[in-house]
Amino acid sequence: METRDFKRLKVLDKLQWFFDRMGVNYSVMRKILQVKMIMDERRVPTIFNQNKKKDGTVKKESNGFIKSLWVYLLMSLFLLPFIFLGGNYLFQMSLIFGIIMFMVMTTMVSDFSTVLLDIRDKNILYTRPIDRKTINMAKNVHVMFYLLLLTAALVGIPVLAGLFRHGAIFFLITVIELILLNMFIVVITALIYMAILKFFDGEKLKDIINYVQIILSLSIMVGYQVVVRSYELVNLDIVFIPKWWHLFIPPIWFAAPYEMFLNHVFSPTMVVLSVFAVLIPIASFLLYLRLIPSFEKSLEKLSALQAQKEKKRGKIGESLLKLICRDQTERASFCFAGIMMKTERDFKLRVYPSLGFSIVIPFILFFNQIASQPFAETAASNLYLSIYFAMIVIPSVVLMLSFSGKYKGAWIFQVIPVQNMEMIISGTLKAFLVRLYVPIYVLLSVIFAAIFGVRIIPDLVIVFLTSCLYTLICFLFRKITMPFSEPFEAAKESDSWYIFGLMLIILPFFGLHYLSLYLPFGKYLYMIVLAVALVFGWRWAIGLKLKNVRV
């Protein structure tokens, strides 16, 4: 069978003379790149993880990353207004470069950390007769190739628009700067990895990468909501007075040359900033080349082992735990699920962005209102009920509790005679509420109470009780499995309709709460009803559901 060849490599073949001159063994490098690209096709980029192929059938392999470029292309349209509006370059271009840097860098960390940090290279390639120079060049070409595609997708349209709007000089500056920026980003990323590895071990680094992935997913979800609204807020007449701390903000360096060459502002600050834009990326790249050996050395720490200190539960934690979970199996399951939610990276990547989303969405809703009416009016209104939107995260997370990237570990449930499954499920649901939902909800409540006053505290309690009850309801509508025992790929397309359907159940709760506001003592009555339903319903409902399944 013929190994797949790539068009991109055929393009690269044209540059063979360059690599030969560098002393790189081109045919070996080409082989390495070919294998790496085949592996890339079997990886799913962060942006796509929500709709990963789910039916389990083997589709034709195609590079997920290249497909994800469409998303970036779409996002690039949001940059257009900043290109078209006015000639306040320092401000506009800092904003644009800020966005580009953020997007490229987070994508770099989330999707190419595997390229930069592949320790398999060490065992597989370094043991073979290939010189280091060739291996490093292969790595760099590999990263550069994707970075090139990514920036092209992200800025292609805006740059062309700029060419028409601002002329050829604008275009030229942009192209040169983008190359510098990309170099800078590769170096910065590598240096950050190095710094992290210097102080922590590989597990910590993987955690940090995981958080960057979460932030990327979240900012894309929120980005669409915010960006569109932000055009109104951005004041393009803003007068930009250079301050000394601007020297430390890279996007401003990159914006300075526009101001210099297009607006003819040759103030010392502009010159210094522009020089920074050119010199610092080049200097950091040279530094990086010298640091590569120590980078490789620090990569060894990726798989190294650090003994960790014991983390003991305090007395208070212990008694709280006993209060929340009376039963021992329930407690064990509560702790287990809590740790899984905290440390299982696949799970976090799928669940945390939507948790973040549920913090943001209630605000997006009433910021519109705040903009259009006086603050006192908002504070006196019933708008705090938008906190119900925090609940939309519950159905998908409850569904996700069945899944895990480490699902294979679930054999343990079968070997151990788990007789009170009820307690396992109850513990898992409680872990979700306590470990994931409560922190978010408390944060939201504090902010809401600050805006709307302490008068809404009873309402906040009602919404929290409703959330607990709603979690239970979501569980009742779900297929029963052991927690964390199925691969994410087993999640079905139909699940999203399911989740949507479950979200509709929030409406009657919202309605009841709203009605209760118009009755004297209505909300306290409602609160008691909810509390009673929760206390008596919890075990009964879980037990009932399990019984139905066994029959």
Residues within the interface to other proteins (CB under 8 A): 201-203, 303-311, 328-329, 331-332, 335-336, 339-340, 343-345, 404, 406, 408-409, 411-419, 484
Shortest Å, Cβ 230 to other proteins? 38
Q: Please identify, using beta-carbon distances, which residue of 203 and 296 lies nearer to other proteins.
A: 203
The tokens describing 380, both together, are 């006196």
Distance CA(383)–CA(91), nearest Å, equals 35
Shortest Å, Cβ 211 to other proteins? 15
Shortest Å, Cβ 322 to other proteins? 10
Q: Please identify, using beta-carbon distances, which residue of 18 and 411 lies nearer to other proteins.
A: 411
Shortest Å, Cβ 48 to other proteins? 23
Q: Please identify, using beta-carbon distances, which residue of 201 and 486 lies nearer to other proteins.
A: 201
Name the DSSP letter for residue 440. Answer: H
Shortest Å, Cβ 403 to other proteins? 13
CA angle, residues 324, 326, 330, in degrees to nearest 5? 85
Shortest Å, Cβ 203 to other proteins? 5
Q: Please identify, using beta-carbon distances, which residue of 304 and 544 lies nearer to other proteins.
A: 304
Shortest Å, Cβ 406 to other proteins? 5
Neighbouring residues of 320: CB distance < 8 A, sequence distance ≥ 6: none
The tokens describing 473, both together, are 């309801």
Distance CA(271)–CA(283), nearest Å, equals 18
Among 426, 401, 417, 409, smallest CA distance to 332 is for 426
Neighbouring residues of 313: CB distance < 8 A, sequence distance ≥ 6: 321
Dihedral of the CA atoms 312, 314, 315, 320 (nearest 10)? Answer: -110
Q: Please identify, using beta-carbon distances, which residue of 41 and 486 lies nearer to other proteins.
A: 486
Distance CA(273)–CA(287), nearest Å, equals 20
Shortest Å, Cβ 302 to other proteins? 10
Q: Please identify, using beta-carbon distances, which residue of 41 and 118 lies nearer to other proteins.
A: 118
Q: Please identify, using beta-carbon distances, which residue of 268 and 417 lies nearer to other proteins.
A: 417
| String of DSSP letters for 364-410 | HHHHHHHHHS-HHHHHHSSGGGGGGGGGGGHHHHHHHTTB-TTGGGG
Q: Please identify, using beta-carbon distances, which residue of 343 and 368 lies nearer to other proteins.
A: 343
Distance CA(193)–CA(101), nearest Å, equals 17
- Burial label for 362, CB within 10 Å (0-12, 13-18, 19+), is buried
The tokens describing 109, both together, are 């960390």
Residue 471 · residue 533 · CB < 8 Å? no
Shortest Å, Cβ 351 to other proteins? 14
- Burial label for 456, CB within 10 Å (0-12, 13-18, 19+), is buried
Q: Please identify, using beta-carbon distances, which residue of 352 and 509 lies nearer to other proteins.
A: 352
